[in-house]
Amino acid sequence: MPTEYNKNLIELSGVDIIKEDSLILSDVNLSVNAGEFVYIVGRVGSGKSSIIKAIIGEIPLTRGFAHVAGFDLRKIKRNQIPLLRRKIGIVFQDFQLLTDRSVYDNLKFVLQSTGWKNSKEIDHKIKNELESVGMLLKAHKMPHQLSGGEQQRVAIARALLNDPQIILADEPTGNLDSDTACEIMDLLMRIHREQEPAIIMVTHNRALLKRYPGKLMLCENLAFKEIVETQEIDFSQLLYE
């Protein structure tokens, strides 16, 4: 069944993002519908990752309108945050796989932690997601036995386990060479096309922005704004390699 692209999954309006009593971004406005692909760019320390942390409830919000996947982030209770995060898949730059267990057991840990109990359903889900990212044959491997690209494929499979409405990818290609980065982006774009989650990706990679177009949001000087395609953009002034 096709996604209803007018379904609003993220709506931030007039939001201030404050971390440790410091204002990181002021008057943030962000609207993301189901099926959208959104980039967040900006210099190091400009607040890109803070937006991700705000969306998952890690940074409390006290000003403005902030709804994500049906949750009001200004009113969300601590015991509701795990429920919010089940609707969100997260992909990190440094993979964040558990190093003391196999690929299969990394995914099993997530499912059991989020309430899955039936062993056959768990097994089927893990194998299905690993197959979808081309890692089923390496389910028995330990993370240190995998390349960076393979670890990121496993991390993407992990992010998909609970069929998220939203995928947040925080510099998912930052530790990868250019060819592997394109392979990971091709995988994310296929997931976006076939499963139609909203994807928000933080990146500093100019080549990816040009090759894989999407809505472009910029963090700069405490502000957060959309950069329209018709504008002339000097990316050398916005992004660090």
Q: What is the DSSP letter of 176?
A: S
Max CA distance (Å), the chain: 54
- Under 8 Å between Cβ of 35 and 47: no
Distance CA 174, CA 92 (A): 9
CB under 8 A, 24+ apart: contacts of 225-233: 227/41
Residue 210: CB partners within 8 Å, gap ≥ 6?
A: none
Q: How do the pLDDT tens digits run along the chain, 241 residues long?
A: 334 444 789 999 999 999 888 999 999 999 999 999 999 998 888 899 899 999 999 999 988 999 999 999 999 999 999 999 999 999 998 999 999 999 999 999 999 999 999 999 999 999 999 999 999 999 999 999 999 999 999 999 999 999 999 999 999 998 899 999 999 999 999 999 999 999 999 988 888 888 998 999 999 889 888 887 545 455 555 554 4
Provide the CATH topology of domain 7-87+208-241. Answer: Rossmann fold (3.40.50)
